[in-house]
């Protein structure tokens, strides 16, 4: 829900947590509460299926409060890998708290720069750089998962269009694939103009934060690996085939998703 993206201000490490002596976070909590109450009263959401519908389901998405964001491509560049331009070796593509890192292999991409024999070495460098990322406050790893090779199959990520390395952040951290060498590897996560002005350490960082996306630099992001109870949503199902009053066991989106057909191959993220 976009409200939690923008207003999930509950972590003391968030840039705006103490603003207005706490009045801001209380006001933001009120925005979220009122938004959910409006959703609950929406007639189409509370009414039964219309003619022809066999099932209607509804899910309240959940976010994890986020205080900081890692610029993955900046981290890879700082580790000596080329991430931009026509001779890029790698590129990280992010979505919230997870990302795929692609090696620009000649056999895979039209403008590839890395020979097949050199791919394992590049993957090893990528995993080494990303596993070394540490929280400057706690000293703990920032990434909960850094997987490659056979590890991808265990995560059901061994797809032809998947990256060579998959990463997922610890709660509290977001990931971005934007590359800007004038900005630090770690930046605060905020979309509020006043907080942005206060925490920016340079004009380049201020501009970077100004252009942030909703699931990139917001107060709450999703995209973490399943398992954290804070990401578990409420699931409702209405229809003639749904037993009345039945309490469902924990389920996954893939349990109810319809198979996609006629999809085309995705475009290369590098070239």
Query: Which of the residue ranges 57-71, 139-153, 190-204 would you say has the lowest mean pLDDT?
Result: 57-71
Q: Do 44 and 158 belong together in one domain?
A: no
Mention every residue, 6+ apart, whose C-beta is less than 8 A from residue 164.
Answer: 101, 102, 103, 119, 122, 123, 126, 148
Q: How many CB atoms are located within 10 Å of the residue 225 CB? A: 16
Q: Do 96 and 161 belong together in one domain?
A: yes
pLDDT of residue 148: 96
- Answer whether 169's CB lies under 8 Å from 98's CB: yes
Q: How many CB atoms are located within 10 Å of the residue 70 CB? A: 25
In a domain, 270, yes or no: no
What sign does the dihedral 87-129-172-147 (CA atoms) show?
Answer: positive
Q: Which tokens hold the place of 260? A: 């996609």
Q: Do 79 and 209 belong together in one domain?
A: yes
In a domain, 212, yes or no: yes
Q: Categorize the per-residue pLDDT at 196 as very low, low, confident or very high, splitting at 50, 70 and 90.
A: very high
Measured at the alpha carbon of residue 125, what is the angle toward residues 134 and 153, in degrees to the nearest 5?
90
1 or 231: which leads in pLDDT = 231
In a domain, 129, yes or no: yes
Q: Do 127 and 187 belong together in one domain?
A: yes
pLDDT of residue 50: 52
List the one residue out of 146, 100, 97 whose CA is nearest residue 124. Answer: 146
For the chain, the average pLDDT equals 85
Q: Do 132 and 48 belong together in one domain?
A: no
Tens digits of per-residue pLDDT, 22-39? 999 999 999 989 988 887
Among the candidates 221, 243, 260, a domain finishes at 221
For 70, the 3-state DSSP assignment is strand
* Counted domains in the chain: 2
Measured at the alpha carbon of residue 49, what is the angle toward residues 43 and 53, in degrees to the nearest 5?
145
Q: Across-strand partners of 105?
A: 114
- Answer whether 189's CB lies under 8 Å from 123's CB: no
Residue 108 to residue 123: CA distance in whole angstroms:
15
Q: Do 95 and 200 belong together in one domain?
A: yes
Where in the sequence is the domain holding 20, given as residue range(s)? 2-62+231-251
Q: Do 57 and 72 belong together in one domain?
A: no
Q: Do 83 and 210 belong together in one domain?
A: yes
For 85, the 3-state DSSP assignment is coil
DSSP codes joined into one string, 157-171: ---TTS-SEEEEEPT
Q: Do 203 and 237 belong together in one domain?
A: no
Tens digits of per-residue pLDDT, 129-153? 999 999 999 999 999 999 999 999 9
What sign does the dihedral 177-181-183-186 (CA atoms) show?
Answer: positive
Give alpha helix (H) positions in 67-192.
72-78, 119-131, 151-154
Query: Which of the residue ranges 11-15, 71-75, 229-233 would you say has the lowest mean pLDDT?
Result: 229-233
């Amino acid at each position: 829900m976009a409200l939690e993206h923008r207003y999930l201000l509950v972590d003391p490490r968030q840039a705006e947590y103490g603003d207005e002596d706490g009045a801001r976070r209380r006001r933001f909590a009120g925005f979220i509460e009122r938004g959910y109450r409006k959703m609950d009263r929406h007639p189409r959401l509370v009414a039964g299926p219309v003619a022809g519908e066999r099932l209607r389901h509804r899910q309240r998405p959940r976010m994890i409060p986020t205080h900081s964001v890692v610029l993955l491509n900046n981290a890879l560049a700082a580790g000596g890998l080329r991430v931009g331009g026509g001779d890029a070796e790698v590129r990280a593509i992010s979505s919230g708290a997870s990302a795929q890192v692609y090696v620009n292999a000649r056999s895979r991409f039209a403008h590839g720069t890395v020979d097949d024999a050199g791919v394992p070495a590049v993957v090893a460098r990528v995993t080494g750089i990303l596993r070394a990322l540490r929280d400057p406050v706690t000293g703990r790893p920032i990434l909960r998962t850094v997987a490659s090779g056979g590890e991808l199959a265990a995560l059901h990520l061994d797809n032809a269009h998947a990256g060579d390395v998959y990463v997922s952040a610890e709660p509290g951290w977001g990931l971005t694939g934007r590359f800007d060498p004038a900005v630090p590897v770690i930046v605060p996560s905020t979309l509020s103009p006043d907080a942005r002005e206060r925490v920016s350490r340079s004009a380049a960082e201020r501009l970077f934060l100004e252009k942030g996306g909703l699931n990139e630099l917001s107060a709450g992001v999703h995209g973490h690996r399943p398992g954290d109870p804070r990401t578990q949503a409420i699931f409702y199902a209405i229809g003639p085939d749904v037993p009345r009053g039945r309490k469902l066991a924990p389920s996954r989106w893939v349990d109810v998703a319809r198979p996609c057909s006629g999809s085309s191959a995705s475009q290369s993220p590098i070239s």
